[in-house]
Amino acid sequence: MKIATFNINGVKARLPRLLEWLEEFSPDVACLQEIKSVDENFPRLEFEDKGWNVETHGQKGFNGVAIFSKHKIEDVRRGLPALDGGEETEDEQARYIEATVQGVRIASIYLPNGNPQPGPKFDYKLAWMDRLVAHAKRLLETEQPIVLAGDYNVIPKDEDCYNPAAWVDDALTQPESRAKLRELTYLGYLDALRQIKPAGPAFTFWDYQAGAWQKDNGIRIDHLMLSPQAADRLQDAQVDRTPRGKEKASDHTPVWIELA
């Protein structure tokens, strides 16, 4: 089973590129972020006509997440629950969708950016991460294979950034952001890409400005975090750089895993 995560930066702006990638790479499951479309306006027929099952959790003009699958998508959850596991707290931002595919529980996550920091946006990011960690802990209790895939907007370590000094004041590198991502690993989740490629650059995002792609001035913020049951089945994990080099590309590129 191949599972990929891809922040597409607008489904309508990226429609030809997305269809092309889905056809060429052919993942079993694709977790998308920043679809930037309300559910009723999402161009689902373009994908369903190609045989994809589609579930979305969108909002107008911003954010939004989706799960595409070649297989049946079951037991869909939209939005994170409250810290205590109750119903979702009032969250106007569509950033989380979760479902089961072929016995694997998969989430597509678009974590808040948090800039500028300090400030209310950074506070929102940290509070959102608290809810994610609490929910991830509850998911482990199911003993299902779990894949938490998405744009985490956290650069885990300095080696995940082309120039750490340039990002020292950014919300993506703050000690608080990194600490909350590590909380997932303390629960038992593993960073899939680092299981296969333990060290060195493995960038997943290059800004549109200042020739970042051409200079390979990238950062790694797109991650697939695996529960022990999913990590036991991990066969490969890679960054697919090809889509980023194409015309009208997203500023992110896909990251994928293969599970036995």
Give catalytic residues, as residue numbers: 110, 151
Contacts of 138 (CB under 8 A, 6+ apart): 85
Other Cβ atoms closer than 10 A to 52: 18
Query: How far is it, in rounded angstroms, from Cα 254 to Cα 150?
Result: 10
Q: Distance between CA atoms of 161 and 145, rounded to whole angstroms? A: 30
In SS3 terms, the chain reads as CEEEEEECCCCCCCHHHHHHHHHHHCCCEEEEECCCCCHHHCCHHHHHCCCCEEEEECCCCCCCEEEEECCCCEEEEECCCCCCCCCCCCCCCCCEEEEEECCEEEEEEECCCCCCCCCHHHHHHHHHHHHHHHHHHHHHCCCCCEEEEEECCCCCCHHHECCHHHHCCCHHHCHHHHHHHHHHHHHCCEEHHHHHCCCCCCCCEECCCCCHHHHCCEECCEEEEECHHHHCCEEEEEECCHHHHCCCCCCECCEEEEEC
